Amino acid sequence: MAGEYSKRQLVLGVFLTRHGHHPGSWRQPETPGGGNPDFQYWLKLVRIAERGKLHTAFFADFAGLGGDDVRGIERTPQGGGFEPLTLISALAAATSEIGLVATVNTNFCHPYTLARQLASIDHLSGGRVGWNVVSSLAPGSIRTFGVADPLSHGERYERAAEFIELAKALWDSWSDGAFDHPDKASGKFLDAADVHPVHHHGRFFNSDSILDLARPLQGYPVFVQAGNSDTGRDFAARHAEMIYAAAQFIDDARAYYDDVKGRMAAHGRAPDQLKITPGLSFAIGRTEEEAREKFEALQAKVNFSGPIELIGEDVSHLPLDEPLPDDYPVPANGKGRWEQIVRLGKRENLSVRQLVLRYNVVRGHRVAIGTPAQVADQIEDWFTQGVVDGFNLIPPLNPGFLEDFVDQVVPELQRRGIFRTQYEGRTLRENLGLHRPPNQHAEKADPSPVRQQQ
């Protein structure tokens, strides 16, 4: 569908890991050896994404590997990552346009600390920071941080909501432009009316404070979230502006999209102020057969000789070549993803081994395999049917698969008029077509977007 840009444009981000998302990626001949952190390598990946005009580079975090979580550790690549906020701070100075999204878990830090960090990085990056809000509480994290009385699933979301509420109040503790007009003659550096002290006393946090730096350039960082459970979906409808979702089939994608967008009105929000972007794994070749061979080369490296997990759940004790038991208990973390696993297993009568190869290697995301045109067809189909706003790419192997997408699929999407050829805005919010939130203390709140996509 070549031609003029349509008003609605595809959102594309990339979830970056050092070797790639496929568990067999680190064993490929072309991947970098060793596990020491290497900033230049991460920068190379982000610059590839920026070359492709992608909206965001997304960095996960799994804080807390329990001291006894060493069974099978020798089979998993370790040590090559950075703490996400530290990494995006460095990337902010070495890139100019792509959005930088860091994962921060609301269970293990304080809103004041994070508000300072994210505001600082938003200024350092020229308004390109996003926060992936996570509230999970894995067993390793519980042991690492010495959590004596873990919160329930619902309570963790309550804490996360209060965390965001306090962080927003701190970002709003100075009016926009509060420091723009110092008067040297009078000795008055700012107007006292521009300071808004925070007095927050809630269930989880207490703070009487003023943030010690200017309001973020974007007002608030872009809020990203990945909730699949019913509680997570309502949290997303209330707070999220970008969702990293999971759907292998178009019917599942449509149901999720309609459900979450349909909940937004109850929170006074417009549907276009939330971008739903499921993960998309892919393999690209000159022919479909070549693409499948590239993906199968990765599948052949999956190791079934030791501990076996399904989205973090140890299933080593189960018979690998039998279906997942109907009475298997739902894990406390990742409820929505686990329900997808159960549905997929029943839908296609898959064994545990087949579920690992089908689901776990891409964590429940869709896999597009084929020529650049075939992969673009699948993306365009879901986008034009209105079941997604875009995709968060999860390259199975870096940097090769990411380069394939940027150099071969992106131009095809641009020719079809559904993906931009340049960054239109200066900030991440502008490039996503999101409103810049007014300061909650402003006398007149202007809800209009700073810039809409063309």
Euclidean distance between CA atoms 22 and 173, whole angstroms: 44
Other CB atoms closer than 10 Å to residue 109's CB: what's the count?
A: 14
* Model pLDDT, residue 140: 81
Contact (Cβ atoms closer than 8 angstroms) between residue 161 and residue 240: no
| Residue 404 in tokens | 């394939």
* Model pLDDT, residue 360: 67
| Strand ranges, E, within 38-179 | 56-59, 99-105, 129-134
Which one, of 74, 104, 40, 436, lies nearest residue 273 by Cα? Answer: 436
The single-letter code of the amino acid at 67 is: G
Contact (Cβ atoms closer than 8 angstroms) between residue 118 and residue 216: yes
Euclidean distance between CA atoms 288 and 273, whole angstroms: 36
* Model pLDDT, residue 67: 58
Non-local CB neighbours of 177 within 8 Å, separated by 6+ positions: 194
CA separation, residue 109 to residues 35, 63, 115, 134, 135 (Å):
27, 11, 10, 12, 11
Burial class (CB in 10 A: 0-12, 13-18, 19+), 331: middle
Strand partners, 314: 309
Euclidean distance between CA atoms 413 and 408, whole angstroms: 9
Collapsing DSSP to helix, strand or coil, 223 comes out as strand
What tens-digit pLDDT sequence spans the chain (454 residues)?
Answer: 333 334 789 999 999 998 888 878 888 888 877 788 899 999 999 999 999 999 999 999 987 765 566 766 777 777 778 999 999 999 999 999 999 999 999 999 999 999 999 999 999 999 999 999 999 888 888 888 888 888 999 999 999 999 999 999 999 999 999 999 999 999 999 999 999 999 999 999 999 999 999 999 999 999 999 988 899 999 999 999 999 998 988 999 999 999 999 999 999 999 999 999 999 999 999 999 999 999 999 888 887 776 787 777 888 888 888 888 888 888 766 666 777 788 878 888 888 888 887 776 777 789 999 999 999 999 999 999 999 999 999 999 999 999 999 999 999 999 999 999 999 999 999 999 999 999 999 864 444 444 333 3
| Residue 454 in tokens | 């063309």
| Residue 243 in tokens | 């969702």
Euclidean distance between CA atoms 404 and 284, whole angstroms: 7
* Model pLDDT, residue 69: 64
Contact (Cβ atoms closer than 8 angstroms) between residue 400 and residue 360: no
| Residue 259 in tokens | 């459900």
* Model pLDDT, residue 285: 98
Matching residue, tokens 């707070």: 239
| Residue 67 in tokens | 């001291």
Which one, of 77, 68, 84, lies nearest residue 140 by Cα? Answer: 68
Euclidean distance between CA atoms 16 and 43, whole angstroms: 11
| Strand ranges, E, within 279-371 | 279-284, 309-310, 313-314, 366-370
How many CA atoms are closer than 13 Å to the CA of 103, on its beta-carbon side? 18
Q: Which long-range contacts (CB under 8 A, 24 or more apart) does 208-213 make?
A: 209/112, 209/170, 209/173, 210/170, 210/173, 210/174, 211/112, 211/115, 211/116, 211/119, 211/170, 211/171, 211/173, 211/174, 212/116, 213/116, 213/119, 213/120, 213/123
Matching residue, tokens 């007009």: 181
Record the pTM: 0.89
Burial class (CB in 10 A: 0-12, 13-18, 19+), 434: buried
Euclidean distance between CA atoms 382 and 390, whole angstroms: 9
Which one, of 225, 231, 268, lies nearest residue 157 by Cα? Answer: 231
Helix axes 153-171, 111-125, angle to 10 degrees: 50
C-alpha Rg value of the chain to the nearest Å: 22
Which one, of 452, 430, 446, 383, lies nearest residue 130 by Cα? Answer: 430
* Model pLDDT, residue 66: 58
* Model pLDDT, residue 453: 35
Euclidean distance between CA atoms 178 and 92, whole angstroms: 24
Strand partners, 14: 57, 393
Collapsing DSSP to helix, strand or coil, 101 comes out as strand
Euclidean distance between CA atoms 365 and 281, whole angstroms: 7
